[in-house]
């Protein structure tokens, strides 16, 4: 049996490449002209330093959970922490504010969910120090200098891990941090910008 579908050829020649524009005076998609918040390695490094400061672990003992090149794990008798960002949650109602002749700002609030796993013979006590450090006002004021604030945190969970055929003590805690995200878009004021109608 010959499939009837073989007689039909779908053409995509009518599709055009997406147009990107830096401001609203021309048709096309808008991208931010500036965004001040850190993401990726910059944000992860910043939060790792925060975790090290609250836990009291020495330099190099708060390690990223996922890296392109995985370093050898510390020995079972070494105290250390595996730290990483596991999710982002944003509100669904961003506000557009500060309209100027040059553009408009998008404001929204974002929650960054992190997971800290403490390993080693003193992992329990170090995890407790980290948890209690979250509630110290001066620590939170210092965190605010990076435009972050504490939202909430979980209970400590025991999660022993078998590493190199040896059980290693491990305690996990999830911490959620809140921040305001600001992005500048070239959305011109209707009063100042020339009026154009886009369409067929």
Quote the Cα angle for 63-173-154, to 5°.
Answer: 150
For 35-71, the pLDDT digits (tens) are 778 999 999 999 999 999 999 999 999 999 988 888 8
Name the residue with higher pLDDT: 104 or 89: 89
pLDDT at site 19 = 73
pLDDT at site 151 = 97
DSSP 72: P
156: nearest Cα among 171, 167, 145, 170: 171
Name the residue with higher pLDDT: 103 or 143: 143
Are 35 and 184 contacting, i.e. CB atoms less than 8 angstroms apart? yes
* Distances, alpha carbon 22 to alpha carbons 37, 58, 73, in Å: 20, 46, 46
pLDDT at site 1 = 47
Domain ranges across the chain: 38-185
The residue assigned the tokens 């090149």 is: 69
78: nearest Cα among 55, 57, 49: 57
The C-alpha atoms of residue 172 and residue 159 are separated, in whole angstroms, by 7
Mean pLDDT of the chain: 86
Statement: residue 12 has pLDDT above 90: no
The 3-state DSSP class for residue 16 equals coil
DSSP 21: E
For 117-168, the pLDDT digits (tens) are 999 999 999 999 999 999 999 999 999 998 999 999 999 999 999 988 899 9
The residue assigned the tokens 């200098």 is: 145
Are 61 and 130 contacting, i.e. CB atoms less than 8 angstroms apart? no
Statement: residue 110 has pLDDT above 50: yes
For 75-98, the pLDDT digits (tens) are 999 999 999 999 999 998 899 887
The C-alpha atoms of residue 169 and residue 158 are separated, in whole angstroms, by 8
CATH number assigned to the domain with residue range 38-185, chosen from the 4 options 1.20.120, 3.30.1540, 3.30.2000, 1.10.8: 3.30.2000
């Amino acid at each position: 049996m010959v499939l009837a579908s073989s007689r039909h050829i779908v053409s995509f020649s009518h599709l055009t490449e997406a147009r990107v524009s830096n401001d609203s005076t021309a048709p096309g998609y808008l991208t931010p002209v500036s965004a001040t918040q850190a993401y990726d390695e910059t944000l992860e490094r910043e939060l790792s330093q925060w975790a090290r400061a609250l836990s009291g672990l020495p330099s190099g003992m708060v390690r990223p959970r996922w890296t392109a090149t995985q370093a050898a794990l510390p020995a079972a008798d070494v105290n250390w922490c595996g730290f990483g960002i596991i999710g982002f949650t944003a509100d669904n109602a961003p506000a557009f504010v500060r309209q100027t002749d040059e553009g408009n700002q998008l404001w929204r609030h974002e929650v960054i969910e992190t997971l800290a796993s403490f390993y080693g013979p003193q992992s329990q006590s170090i995890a407790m120090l980290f948890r209690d450090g979250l509630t110290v006002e001066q620590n939170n004021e210092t965190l605010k200098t990076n435009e972050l604030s504490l939202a909430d945190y979980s209970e400590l969970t025991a999660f022993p891990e078998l590493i190199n055929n040896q059980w290693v003590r491990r305690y996990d805690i999830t911490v959620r941090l809140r921040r305001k995200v600001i992005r500048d878009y070239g959305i011109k004021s209707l009063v100042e910008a020339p009026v154009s109608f886009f369409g067929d």
